[in-house]
Amino acid sequence: MTPSPTLAAALALSSALGFAFSTSFQHLAAGRVHLTVTHPLMVLLQLLRSPRWLVGSTIGLVAWFLHAVALNLGTLSLVQPIILLGVVLAVVVRSSLERRLPKVNELAGVLVTVLSLIAVVSVADTSHQGSDAPTVAMLSVAGVGVVIALLVTRLANQLPRRGMAAFVLGMTAGMLFGITACLMKVVGTAVSDHGVPGFLLTWSPWVLLPCAFLAMSLNQRAYQLSRLSHSMPVLNVTSVLLSILLGALLFDESLPTTPGALLVQAIGLVGIAWGLYRIADAGSRTHVVAD
């Protein structure tokens, strides 16, 4: 596909809206899985029986497709921050599902998050002048990510506090989602080079699927364990930060180099974390009351 930052941004925004609906439905369903179910894969199997979770997942698949196309048209440092708008849009979706108006804390979080995202994107590389990721390097990153995730899955069940376990699982899921975004970019290139049937003969989709499945499993387990504020902010910030770093290391995308640009990006990432925390905390408290 011919690079197009404008189209990539538009598709990323559409994907973010889809993820807003998907996340809202999935969190409501995951919160109803009994805490005696502890393994992430078993949590996922339980959720496969929930119509609400299945609807959310179907919407999520469409959003994921739009995300993949956006990544093939634009850079990771452009697309990934825009995808975070899904969390902001989820405030409206969740409020509608719970038949209430957004809280002041949520609106404050929305404002800070949006402004912070604008700051991060304003200094991002949108030129799409990078290269394809080396196969060995991409496979190595994916392999290390999976090993870390499997170790964290065992560790999380031994942590004394559910909030702490959700935080660790959220960070690990964010790591895997960042790696998955890179793999989606590789798959997009494979589709462009080999066509829809031909790309299935390459390695990339068969590495992408288990990474995405494991990331989603850890995410649902974190949702089940504790309120959104314990996992969602760290998940999204980790995903964006790792995507930007891997974009530079694997795809030769440009990172901000001037002190001013680096400062803007750092402040933006801190602002995103704070804004997401306010959104997630307010939403979690409301969800607990509603239940």
Q: Which phi and psi angles does 256 have, rounded to 5°?
A: -60, 135
Pairwise CA distance, residues 229 & 154, whole Å? 22
Q: Please tell me whether residue 130 adopts helix, strand or coil conformation.
A: coil
DSSP string, 269-291: HHHHHHHHHHHHHHHHHHHHHH-
Q: Which domain holds residue 217?
A: 5-290
pLDDT at 53 over 60: yes
Helix (H, G, I), strand (E, B) or coil at 211: helix
If one counts the domains in the chain, the total is: 1
Per-residue pLDDT tens for 169-227?
A: 989 999 999 999 999 989 888 888 888 788 888 898 999 999 998 998 888 788 777 77
Asked if residue 289 has pLDDT above 50, the reply is no
pTM: 0.79
pLDDT tens per residue, range 3-15? 688 898 899 999 9
Cα first-last separation, the chain? 47
Mean pLDDT is highest, among 74-88, 97-111, 201-215, for 201-215
pLDDT value, residue 32: 72
**Residue 49's pLDDT is what?**
78
Instruction: Look at residues 148, 176, 185, 156 and name the one whose alpha carbon lies nearest to residue 69.
Output: 185
